[in-house]
Amino acid sequence: MAVLTVQNLCYGYAKGTPFEKAVLHDVCCTFGEGEIVAVIGHTGSGKSTLLQHLNGLLKPDSGDVLLDGESIYRSKAALRECRFRVGMCFQYPEQQLFESTVRDDIAFGPKNQKLAADEIDRRVKESLAYVGLRESYADKSPFDLSGGEKRRVAIAGVLAMEPEVLILDEPSAGLDPAGKKALLKLITDYHAQTGSTVIFVSHDMDDVAEIADRVLVLSKGRAVMSGTTREVFARADELLEMGLGLPEATSVMLRLRHEGLDVPTDVFTAEEAAAALLAFARKGAGV
């Protein structure tokens, strides 16, 4: 069952000005309940613009966004409910940190939800722990934090609302390998514990291969491909043509195949590559 459905969505920035720019063209896609969906596409393909429609931050020029089958734009109350149910972490965390302490920033959403003070307190503490920040961070100014810490506080602020749909726009951009790994674990842990739907944008195809159930590919403002992660990465030639990368493991197998080795190329993670190469070596050795 689809939790979010995008119907024939068209959107352009700066409508009616000389700077008018059509960005999304007739986009149709669905996001199933409990799925982890990766949105990929070249820079400027419209990923962030599409995501900002999923909780009503932008309004389509035409088309619609449905949450549980009903338009999120049908009334102010529906839009407000959508903002509570669909939590959005922006591409640039600075865009969503504006309070003078980390505590107030994380508490902002739950306060808007009119939760009781002790519940808000619990959520602030829990969310900080969830993103791996000590409780002492609560009294710091978000503006004194490093880029990685700001991102974690921004994510904590969204998690504190306990959203049914968690949207993350390039959550691992700019993080070091350890930070990236921790972030992917955070996403999969949240998903496993809550059964929430997760939608994330990434330029890192290894991250996509590791955690996504499904992939949506945008190209020049159009949804050009969608399917299970295996189905999408199996279309390597088309992805490369669009200027997109492939998981490292897939690239290695394609290269070996190019060199004349009869190895499978529907391999997307390091574990799968290791198993496939082991099987290949055993076959060659006749064991």
Ligand X SMILES: Nc1ncnc2c1ncn2[C@@H]1O[C@H](COP(=O)(O)OP(=O)(O)OP(=O)(O)O)[C@@H](O)[C@H]1O
Q: How many C-beta atoms lie closer than 10 Å to residue 268's C-beta?
A: 24
Residues 43-102 that bind ligand X (CB under 6 A): 43-49, 91
Nearer to ligand X, 27 or 153 (CB): 27
Q: How far is residue 45 CA from its own chain's centroid?
A: 15
Residues of span 79-118 touching Mg ion by CB under 5 A: 91
Provide the mask over 18-57, with x wherever binding to Mg ion is found by CB under 5 A and - wherever it is not: -----------------------------xx---------
Binding residues for ligand X restricted to 230-249, rule: CB under 6 A: none
- The nearest distance, CB 85 to ligand X, in angstroms, is 22
Tell me, by CB under 6 A, how many residues bind ligand X.
13
The whole-angstrom separation of Cα 153 and Cα 105 is: 8
44 contacts 244 by C-beta, under 8 angstroms: no
Residues 26-45: x where in contact with ligand X by CB under 6 A, - otherwise, as a string: ---------------x-xxx
For 87-123, give the DSSP string: EEE-SSGGGG--SSSHHHHHHHHHHHTT--HHHHHHH
Name which of Mg ion, ligand X, none residue 163 binds, using a CB cut-off of 5 to 8 Å depending on partner kind: none
Contacts (Cβ under 8 Å, ≥6 apart) of 229: 38, 208, 209, 212, 213, 214, 215, 268
- By C-beta, is 43 or 146 nearer to ligand X? 43
251 belongs to the binding site for Mg ion (CB under 5 A): no
Q: Which is nearer to Mg ion, 31 or 268 (CB)?
A: 31
Query: Positive or negative CA dihedral for 260, 264, 266, 271?
Result: negative
Rounded Cα distance between 95 and 154, Å, is: 9
154-193: which residues touch ligand X (CB under 6 A)? none
- Smallest separation, CB 84 to Mg ion (Å): 24
Residue 111 interacts, among ligand X, Mg ion, none and using kind-specific CB cut-offs from 5 to 8 Å, with none
Nearest to residue 83, comparing CAs of 45, 56, 50?
Answer: 56
